[in-house]
């Protein structure tokens, strides 16, 4: 008999993941920052000082168990539900939100969510609700990908509806235009997620999913891996650099996710993570 994935199990896992994400940067991003530091030092850029301070900040946050950034984000969660996972579906969102609600005060994280986006803009007081997306996948596991999404970078998101004739050059130019307009606002060095295909809303969703990929990996399809490489080169030639002070590392990585689209269009969505790329992955259930 399969062991049920419990409400308490989800809640506790989310609690621990959120607290850790706000304080300890994942090893792939830290390694990318260290590589960027070397490049900036060699280039003699002003951005080298920014990278050094970021790395010092990360060491201090981890040592003192305090948030690495004052904007502790709005929590974004991608929930992949195994079709055979032993779970009560109605438990998932409630358990996720409960774990977040407990983690924020325990981690001394700032509450950054307002209930009404236009008029009252009153803080909810618990950083809820999280932004949750669900997907049914094969298997018997529950996978949660969690990101503490700061809005310095989120405010620099972009969407371009290209003609299908635009080709790879059109995609490269469109993404570069969005990053160029953002300048130093998203706290570079950044990570760029690009979603191509679907509809306008799906392209943006794909761009968010792309941000969860390991910073150091390559796209499994060589054509898209090459496109990632070309976009990254074009972005880093903008000389925005760390902190917007100039340098060779505006972006540490570009990640692309794609899906089918209509014959008449080519939607391109762009999402950005700042250097504080706070993400965690939880897998629950039998392996």
Mean pLDDT of 193-206: 98
Say which residue the tokens 């970078």 belong to: 153
> Taking 90 as the threshold, does the pLDDT of residue 30 lie above it?
yes
* Cβ neighbours around 112 below 10 Å, total: 19
Share of the chain above pLDDT 90, in %: 98
Q: What 3-state class would DSSP assign to 123?
A: strand
Q: How far apart are CA 92 and CA 262, in angstroms?
A: 33
CA-based nearest residue to 270, from 187, 180, 223, 205: 205
What is the predicted pLDDT for the residue at 185?
98
> Taking 90 as the threshold, does the pLDDT of residue 56 lie above it?
yes
Mean model confidence pLDDT for the chain: 97
Q: The dihedral of CA 261, 267, 268, 269: what is its sign?
A: negative
> Taking 70 as the threshold, does the pLDDT of residue 22 lie above it?
yes
What is the predicted pLDDT for the residue at 61?
98
Q: How far apart are CA 5 and CA 139, in angstroms?
A: 14
Q: How far apart are CA 117 and CA 186, in angstroms?
A: 21
- Is 7-21+68-149 assigned to CATH 3.30.360? yes
CA-based nearest residue to 80, from 284, 287, 219, 260: 284
Instruction: Give the angle subtended at the CA of 208 by the CAs of 185 and 97, to the nearest 5°.
Output: 100
Q: How far apart are CA 214 and CA 65, in angstroms?
A: 24
> Taking 60 as the threshold, does the pLDDT of residue 133 lie above it?
yes
59-71: pLDDT as tens digits: 999 999 999 999 9
What is the predicted pLDDT for the residue at 64?
97
Give the chain's count of helices (H) and strands (E).
Answer: 8, 8
Mean pLDDT of 170-197: 98
Q: How far is CA 244 from CA 36, 178, 187, in A?
A: 14, 15, 7
Q: How far apart are CA 225 and CA 90, in angstroms?
A: 38
255-277: pLDDT as tens digits: 999 999 999 999 999 999 999 99
Domain regions of the chain by residue span:
7-21+68-149, 152-273
pLDDT band at 286 (very low <50, low <70, confident <90, very high): confident
> Taking 90 as the threshold, does the pLDDT of residue 2 lie above it?
no
> Taking 60 as the threshold, does the pLDDT of residue 115 lie above it?
yes
What is the predicted pLDDT for the residue at 287?
60
pTM > 0.85: yes or no: yes
Q: How far apart are CA 240 and CA 157, in angstroms?
A: 17
Mean pLDDT of 140-152: 97
CA-based nearest residue to 180, from 272, 256, 50, 255: 272
């Amino acid at each position: 008999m399969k062991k049920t994935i419990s409400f308490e199990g989800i809640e506790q896992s989310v609690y621990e993941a959120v607290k850790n994400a706000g304080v300890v940067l994942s090893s792939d991003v830290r390694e990318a920052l260290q590589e960027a530091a070397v490049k900036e030092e060699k280039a003699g850029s002003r951005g080298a000082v920014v990278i050094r301070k970021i790395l010092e900040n990360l060491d201090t946050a981890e040592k003192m168990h305090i948030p690495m950034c004052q904007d502790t984000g709005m929590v974004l969660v991608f929930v992949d539900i195994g079709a055979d996972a032993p779970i009560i579906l109605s438990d998932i969102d409630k358990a996720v939100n409960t774990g977040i609600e407990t983690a924020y005060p325990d981690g001394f994280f700032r509450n950054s969510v307002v209930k009404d986006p236009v008029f009252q803009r009153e803080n909810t007081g618990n950083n809820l609700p999280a932004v949750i997306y669900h997907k049914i996948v094969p298997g018997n596991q529950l996978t949660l990908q969690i990101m503490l999404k700061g809005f310095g970078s989120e405010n620099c998101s972009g969407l371009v509806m290209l003609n299908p004739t635009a080709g790879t050059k059109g995609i490269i130019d469109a993404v570069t235009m969005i990053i160029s307009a953002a300048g130093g606002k998203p706290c570079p060095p950044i990570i760029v997620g690009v979603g191509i295909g679907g509809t306008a809303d799906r392209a943006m969703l794909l761009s968010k999913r792309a941000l969860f990929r390991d910073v150091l990996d390559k796209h499994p399809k060589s054509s898209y891996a090459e496109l990632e490489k070309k976009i990254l080169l074009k972005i880093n030639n903008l000389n925005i650099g760390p902190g917007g002070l100039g340098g060779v590392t505006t972006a540490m990585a570009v990640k692309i996710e794609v899906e089918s689209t209509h014959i008449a269009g080519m939607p391109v969505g762009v999402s950005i993570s700042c250097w504080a790329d706070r993400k965690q992955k939880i897998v629950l259930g039998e392996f």
